[in-house]
Chain A
Amino acid sequence: MKRTVVLACASAVVLLLSGHAISAGCDGLAAKVKKLPAKDRNTDKFFAKLLVFLDLADPTPENVDCSSVVVAVQSLVNESRTGGRRLEPNAGLDRAAAQIEVDSALQKPQVQQAIEAIHQKYSDEEVRLLMEAAVFDEDGSYAARDLRLAQLREKIGA
């Protein structure tokens, strides 16, 4: 309930300040964010801020796949799996290996361009981390994606 109020207020402020519509490139992203189940107060606050950014700017820069943004957003609230029987206990994120993957991915021109576009478009460090996670997801650098998401969680205090 509290979360709905926060999101509704944020959206109302955005509508007052801006006439921008959400770009067709990532239709439905804001709706998906609004439908996400509540996780914790700080994550909810981040989503409220994200919605503002999504409404003020084009939701995603070029070269960032919309479905990867959805994956990044959903991963913030779905840290554990729903049911199922695993072969072995899940190993935690190997940060050193993930950083190597980040460095390797950044050598690719298309990843570089996408990251630069993100930095131009978004001034907010937290939103940048989310979008970078989406870029790495699209690139298939999943450990790099998870590292950015872990950094985002730390930053927002989730």
Chain B
Amino acid sequence: MFQGWNRIFPLTLGLCASLVALGAASPLQQANAAKMSLVVVDQQCATIVEPFKISDNLGKLAKDAIGGMLGGLKDRVVNHGSTPDAKEIPEKTRLQAKRMNWLPMNVETMYGQRLHDKETLILDREKAEGKKYYPIADKILEDAKRGINAPHDYTFKLFILKQPGRNALARPGGFLYLDVGLLKDRKQLDKAYFAVAHEISHVLKRHETRELQGLIIDSFETAEDLKSIVNAGSHPDAVLAKVKIDKDQYIRHHMDQELQADACAARILGESYADNAKLAASIRAFLKELVPPTKEELEQETNAAKLQADQRALVADAEAKQARKKSKKKNRDEKTEDGLDATVLAYDIVTTPANRHPNSRERTSNLDAMYAELTAQKPKP
């Protein structure tokens, strides 16, 4: 019994903490917490594996947002074994719950498996082409895994897709896919290494997982639904019951997550390869294949920078308004709430990354910086 509780307690605690976090902290703390959880703060991928243990995330959140509130929350959970009893989940608590890292591995793997089952182009290992290319793909995966320098709970599964292209794909739960086009041409193998390391990075940084968490939280209508989370360990299907699997449902490619996955890939390969020449070859092979940014993409890049500057001004304005409202005694609570919403919203806009792949210039600049950092630590070939 305690074994089961040990599993569900941290999970419940983590989620519930997220649900009360905004309500417990000051408006500015809440905005900061929202900001903190939105931004890819580790752009250079200092840590390849996103902390998985609920307690790690809880600690991170508690530090900035919850403070001493957890003791009371813990008592509530232990004594009553229930989630917060509000009938509706407020929008801002949904936001916070989406940003935390609380999804149990079995739920993530089950969802990844469901997506995998819909994949129609998997090359059969037993067919002649499968027998030829799977050993190569398996070796790439094994080599890349050697470059992961931190413990994690994922079991990676690599599949080859009967696709003529030279792309790769990651799905929740450690499902990785490589186009056979990357393996047929030996000249593409360096890129194949980068591709596998990049996709592993998406999984270890839990980029897809956070999107899935969003889908799950959005599928919950009332706080009552949150109870399924409590039993996720033994009934993962209940958590996913209302989540629909649609095509291209959450393949928004957040620009900063892509850049982070590139950085992590470089770090993984740097760790895996004995010399820098191989790392350079892999990065080069990847960058060489990228299409130069179009005029439209360059405009997009410039506009995004301008928009971000405007949004920063919006945040400053919201913070100033909030400060003014705080100083007024009349209708203070209501107005503080308004101020909070404006600030959180503003932070959300500013820190929500562009939903697009970074262009080749952005990726090149990022990887150049990573290569410089990694090779500074190792003797040059």
Residues of A within 8 A of B (CB): 67, 70-71, 74-75, 78, 80-91, 98, 101, 137, 140, 142-143, 146
Contact = CB atoms under 8 A, between A and B. Distances in A.
A84 B251 contact: yes
Interface stretch (B28-36, B41-49, B71-79, B118-126): B118-126
A67 B121 CA distance: 10
Given A90-B165, A90-B167, A142-B180, A84 B208 contact: yes
Given A75-B120, A140-B129, A84 B163 contact: no
Given A88-B357, A146-B164, A82 B245 contact: yes
User: Sorted from nearest, which 5 A-B pairs have the closest CB atoms?
Assistant: A143-B164, A142-B164, A84-B169, A87-B168, A74-B120
B361 to A, nearest CB: 14
Given A71-B120, A140-B129, A85 B199 contact: yes
Count chain B CB atoms within 10 A of each CB in A74, A91, A140 and give the residue with the most: A140
B167 A142 contact: no
Interface of B: 115, 118-121, 124, 129, 162-165, 167-172, 177, 180-181, 195, 198-199, 202, 207-208, 245-251, 253, 257, 261, 286, 289-291, 357
B121 A85 contact: no
Contact of A81 (B247, B291, B357): B247
Give the one of A74, A83, A84, A143 with max B CB within 10 A: A83
Contacts of A67: 124
A137 to B, nearest CB: 7
Given A81-B169, A85-B251, 12 more contacts: A78-B247, A80-B247, A81-B119, A81-B247, A82-B249, A83-B251, A84-B169, A85-B170, A87-B198, A91-B167, A140-B162, A142-B181
Contacts of B172: 83
A88 B290 contact: yes
B162 A137 contact: yes
Contacts of A81: 119, 169, 247-248, 251
A70, A71, A98, A142 — most chain B CB neighbours (10 Å):
A142
Contact of B169 (A74, A87, A98): A87
Contacts of B119: 81-82
B275 to A, nearest CB: 24
A86 B178 CA distance: 10
Nearest to A74: B120
